[in-house]
Amino acid sequence: MQKRTYIFSLLFLSLCGMVIAQEEDNIGTETVTVVKPYSPTVSDAFKIKSSPSLNDSIVLQKKKINYSIFSVPVASTFTPAKGKASGVEKTPPPTLYNSYASIGLGNYNNALVDFYTSREFNRGEDLLDFGLTHNSSRGDLDSTPLETDFYDTKLNASFAKKDRYMKWGAAIGLQHQLYNWYGIQSELFSEDEINAMDEQQNYFNAEAKAHFNMEDSYFKSGNLLLRRFWDATESAENRAVINPTFELPVTEELITISAKVDYVGGSFENGSITEGVNAGEKKYSNLQAGVTPSLLILRDDLTINLGANIVYGLDMENSENNFYIYPAVTASYRVMDENVIAYGGIEGELKQNSYYDFVNDNPFVSPTLDIVPTDQQYEGYLGLKGQLTSNVGYNIKGSYMAENRKPLFFHNPINTSRDDEKSYYYGNSFQVFYDDVKTLGVFGEINVDVNRNFSLGVNAEFYDYDTETDNPAWNLPSIKGSVFMDYQISDQWYMGTNLFYVGERDDLLSQINPLDSELQFQQVTLDGFFDANAHVGYRFNEQLSIFLKASNIANNSYQRWANFQVQGFQALAGVSYKFDF
């Protein structure tokens, strides 16, 4: 025990000496960092009981209840049916037929024939179409003693082929039209002169077309037209048009180059009616070659097409030529998605006129015309289009156009000194007068698709003309408008209407005095006219239906051209049939 006490005392004294020595001798400072790994510990947790026990005399104790079943056997013959999934009633797809035929007859001996058939080959890659239409009338009008018959018959056939990289097609067409120059002033001629008139004119047309479209190629598309047009007075015209298009992508933009070669040439056997003596054959031959490069720029809601139309025009008959450069700039901007789209542009072209086109505009022209192209210097326009609601669309446009040599129609003079084979020199035919015209126009339309069965449209046009000669813009109205409606009343009944209005037009009536060859003329104003047309039909089934068409319902005896009164109220009933051929 003493030995242990001695040892502890010795250790205590040694520690005290070390402390005293440290205080007396300054040996400096040193920082020591002790690193120890973090070793957390988790204490035990005690879960709180979700339903604590209550020891309260107020709490009522649940009474134990014993249930028993009173079972009585019952005889039953019920057998449950197997469950079936509820199906959705499907609308059967419409049956498609490859052929269609329609025929109708009406007053004024009006007749309508329409036939069309289409055949597919090679799983739809080849398509052959054939069509025939005929529209005629053999009724007489009280306003003239001459024949007023007309008919128009067309025969068309086409073939189209589609493969992986190219689509192409070709078509041929034949047409025969018959019209009469019946618009004479009867009081100016004797009965013998009227009976000696040969007022009938026949037009014939034969044409061939071809088109093709390429995929994944710089050579994008091309069109070809060949046409032969002639009449009963030995007038004839040839037309050839070639129009290839190339597309060249450059970075993010697209450059389109459209080329065009357009030739028209022909002859008339007779000279102008203003000449006292028939001067004989008139020839014309016009060639155009042009190219239109354009750059397409797409930026979000903005689309801009920057281009120019460069044309070389050659009058081969008179050995005259000229270069024309026209603007070709268009743009559109989506102001409010599909609701408001602003668009505009300025464009021009050298428009090729032809005898065929003039006859389509006015079938009562004389076969003694001058055919020259129209220099449409520019047409600038601005507009808004879009949708007011999901089923109401609109389009509003204002335009200004400057044209040199714009063709206008007015009456040929009465020239009884002529002895041409056909009787178109009694003031009952039209000539083409070329004038420089500037046109200010406003156009507006609204289309309403109430539902799949009902659609309605309204449009109106207003024009103001300024001519170089200070003459009126002959036979051009200042106001035009139309209303159309289609209504599928039920699965069987359908109907539609078309109403249009044409405002006043100015024309020029004239007569050559056979004694001194002096021209006497009188300006006349034709009243505006309103024409209402309607049709109604009933479908017995998917193939057979009947229809009734009514034209000029108001029975207006208006004149579309001066002295050319139209037929009154017309009704035509017919039947249509669809079938596989």
User: Residue 222 pLDDT more than 60?
Assistant: yes
pLDDT of residue 90: 62
The distance of Cα 529 from the centroid of its chain, to the nearest Å, equals: 27
User: Residue 19 pLDDT more than 70?
Assistant: no
Percent of the chain at pLDDT exceeding 70: 84
| Rounded CA separation 265/83 (Å) | 80
| Interval 161-200: pLDDT, tens | 988 888 999 999 999 999 999 999 999 999 999 999 999 9
- Residue 1 confidence class, pLDDT cut points 50, 70, 90: very low
User: Residue 133 pLDDT more than 50?
Assistant: yes
- The pTM of the full predicted model, rounded to 2 decimals, is 0.82
Ranges 60-69, 421-430, 474-483, 541-550: which has the least confidence: 60-69
In 58-93, which positions are buried (b, 16+ CB within 10 angstroms) versus exposed (e)? eeeeeeeeeeeeeeeeeeeeeeeeeeeeeeeeeeee
Structure letter (DSSP) for residue 191 = H
Q: Structurally, what CATH architecture does the domain formed by 99-579 represent?
A: Beta Barrel (2.40)
User: Residue 10 pLDDT more than 70?
Assistant: no
pLDDT of residue 216: 81
- Residue 250 confidence class, pLDDT cut points 50, 70, 90: confident
Q: 200 is written with which tokens? A: 């009938």
SS3 letters across 267-333: EECCCCCCCCCCCCCEEEEEEEEEEEEEEEEEECCEEEEEEEEEEEEEECCCCEEEEEEEEEEEEEE
| Interval 114-130: pLDDT, tens | 999 999 888 778 999 99
pLDDT of residue 581: 81
| Mean pLDDT along residues 36-51 | 46
Domain ranges of the chain: 99-579
Task: Answer with the residue of higher pLDDT: 8 or 574.
Answer: 574
Whether the Cβ atoms of residue 197 and residue 186 lie closer than 8 Å to each other: no
pLDDT of residue 80: 55
The residue type at 301: D
Pairing outcome for strands 126-137 and 493-502:
unpaired
Ranges 5-19, 106-120, 164-178: which has the least confidence: 5-19
Structure letter (DSSP) for residue 188 = G
| Interval 380-400: pLDDT, tens | 999 999 999 889 999 999 999
Whether the Cβ atoms of residue 569 and residue 104 lie closer than 8 Å to each other: no
For 383-428, the DSSP string reads EEEEEEETTEEEEEEEEEEEEEEEEEEEEPPB-TT---SS---BS-
User: Residue 24 pLDDT more than 50?
Assistant: no
| Mean pLDDT along residues 337-347 | 94
pLDDT of residue 70: 47
Q: 47 is written with which tokens? A: 């879960």
Q: To 10 degrees, the CA torsion angle through 566, 568, 571, 576?
A: 10
Q: Give the three-state DSSP class for 14.
A: helix
User: Residue 522 pLDDT more than 50?
Assistant: yes
Whether the Cβ atoms of residue 168 and residue 210 lie closer than 8 Å to each other: yes
Closest CA to 438 of 461, 469, 460: 469
pLDDT of residue 554: 92
Closest CA to 373 of 336, 423, 322: 322
pLDDT of residue 401: 98
Q: 458 is written with which tokens? A: 């309204």
The residue type at 476: L
Q: 427 is written with which tokens? A: 């003031």
Whether the Cβ atoms of residue 295 and residue 306 lie closer than 8 Å to each other: yes
Average pLDDT, the chain: 86
User: Residue 75 pLDDT more than 70?
Assistant: no
| Interval 260-313: pLDDT, tens | 999 999 999 999 998 878 888 899 999 999 999 999 999 889 999 999 999 999
Please enumerate in sequence order all residues whose Cβ is within 8 A of that of 251, keeping only pairs 6 or more positions apart, or say none: none
